[in-house]
A and B are shown apart, each in its own frame.
Chain A
Amino acid sequence: MIGLARHWREIPQRYRYEAARCDKCSAVYFPPRLVCSKCRGREFTKTVLPQTGKVETFTVIRVAPTGFTDEAPYAVAVVKLDDSIRVMAQVVDCEVEKLAIGDRVRLEFRKVQQDGEAGAICYGYKFVPEA
């Protein structure tokens, strides 16, 4: 599996939703990049993603990969954040059978997985119903 250093490195995104906005064309990248794909600009300013949005598509994982088998079935969705970009994450605290495109959701800080032989706990974000 993946290493502790990587989880530590990703804390600004996993805990704080830190993204980058291109100074030239305002395109937003999550995670931050070094070059803008739209205008090839290389100057960015840190921005924080909005934490609410709408489900654009989703699935319910019933056959899970190693590390997630105990959690199945669980929902994963692509969510268009309000006035911003799309991100992917699990949707929890909902009845997966009733989930639908267009549902309003918000990001919450949650445990996402345990990793490696030491069972390091990896925190990050999951979506929950907005209401």
Chain B
Amino acid sequence: MREVAVIGVGMNKWGELWEKSHRTIWTEAALKAIDEAKVDRVDAMVVGCMSGGLFVGQEHLGALLAEQLGMGPIPGTRVESACASGGLAFRQAYLAVASGMHDIVLATGVEKMTDVDGGAATFALSTAADQEYEGFHGVTFPGLYAMMARVHMQRYGTTREQLAQVAVKNHAHGSLNPNAQFPMKVTAQQVMSSAMVADPMRLLDCSPVTDGAAAAVLVPLEWARKRSSGPFIRVAASAHATDTIALHDREDMAFLGSTAKAAEQAYKQAHIGPSDLSFCEAHDCFTISEVMVIEALGIAERGQGGKLTASGYTALDGKIPVNPSGGLKSKGHPVGATGVAQVFEVVEQLRGACGARQVKNARWALTQNMGGTGASTVIHLFERV
């Protein structure tokens, strides 16, 4: 396998982009990454998109989007793994370069979620759960995570206030990110008095519905070294694991097994452990998600994710900042784009280009992108070299 580097990334401000089409927001991000990488061709393109069909009535995105690039009949592949589609697209691009199959690969993610109304968006997202044995009963994603939260709170004593601190922290980070959809700060009191969505998850515990895209250009590290003097952003590990699709089939409903498994593989590949991380971008689709993710990543002890968050350990000025970008909570969550946008943040941070939200002396970074209630996890590790 060849070593792989990311040499260009692109994204724009996310939000309710009613004036722009699915293909336009994708192409804008793709061109930014290509221009930044200063490449005159890409050999292949991968796009992560959860549900072009349900959100905009469009499938066959590999061909449709490849055509938008104007680079001829290159292979265009769409991959889907619910909210982990973007992370999986990045992984497929990584594998294509690492294996020697292609030299310059464009990894992208896109979702346009605001063309449909709230009920239709809630339904589309619910297809990431078991449609026949969860969705059939009218459960939603906030509902599924609410059930996980209730187990976590009962077993470990995680408090309502601790969960709110995830939103407080990530909105504070997002307030420093010009691409964030909701860059306003929130207080714990505002989170805990926002509208109830699915008890105990309230509106400000939930990531929003977003239109957005992100892109990254991957090449062999040796190839990058010949073109410039660096520093380079090396992909140090790529791991992917799955778990039961239905929450009720999980051995432990308060633990993210797929994240723990993928993390174990990633740390092994890179010969590092969680304490070596300078920061990480984690899949905080709900406040409880981030609490459970940092436990599965080994940043927090099992059951202690809420307490650790409330202590400030994962804040921008803490020991291991989690979601300096603002996370899904503040930056937005266009489901298929999220995993690639995590890579965007990591690359910008490792380059030292993040201004007010810059993590000091960043060298090692982790991205954790998750689908469903944790039925899929894709993890990547990056190192500045």
Contacts and interface: CB of A to CB of B under 8 A. Distances in A.
B137 A88 contact: yes
Interface string B193-218: 00111111100000000000000000
Contact of B137 (A10, A62, A76): A76
A87 interface: yes
A112 B147 contact: no
Interface in B156-205: 195-201
A44 interface: no
Interface stretch (B72-80, B125-133, B292-300): B125-133
A65 B137 contact: no
A22 B196 CA distance: 42
A63 B197 contact: yes
Interface of A: 2, 6, 10, 30-31, 56-69, 71, 74, 76-78, 85-90, 101, 112-113, 122, 124, 126
B203 to A, nearest CB: 9
A64 to B, nearest CB: 6
Nearest to B206: A63
Contact of A59 (B147, B154, B248): B147
A63 B198 contact: yes
Contact of A71 (B134, B138, B196, B200): B138
Nearest to A59: B146
B276 to A, nearest CB: 34
Question: Which residue, of A6, A31, A88, has the highest number of chain B Cβ atoms within 10 A?
Answer: A88
Interface string B117-152: 011101100100001111111111011101110110
Nearest to A75: B199
Contacts of B142: 59, 63
Contact of B138 (A2, A10, A65): A65
A124 B135 CA distance: 13
A66 to B, nearest CB: 4
A122 B138 CA distance: 12
Q: Which 5 A-B pairs rank lowest in CB-CB distance, beginning with the nearest? A: A59-B146, A68-B138, A66-B119, A86-B248, A65-B123
Given A59-B199, A60-B199, A78-B147, A89 B137 contact: yes
Contacts of A112: 136-138
Contacts of A71: 138
Interface string B287-315: 00000000000000000000000000000
A11 to B, nearest CB: 12
Contacts of A59: 139, 142-144, 146-147, 150, 198-201
Given A57-B150, A59-B199, A78 B138 contact: no
A64 B122 contact: yes
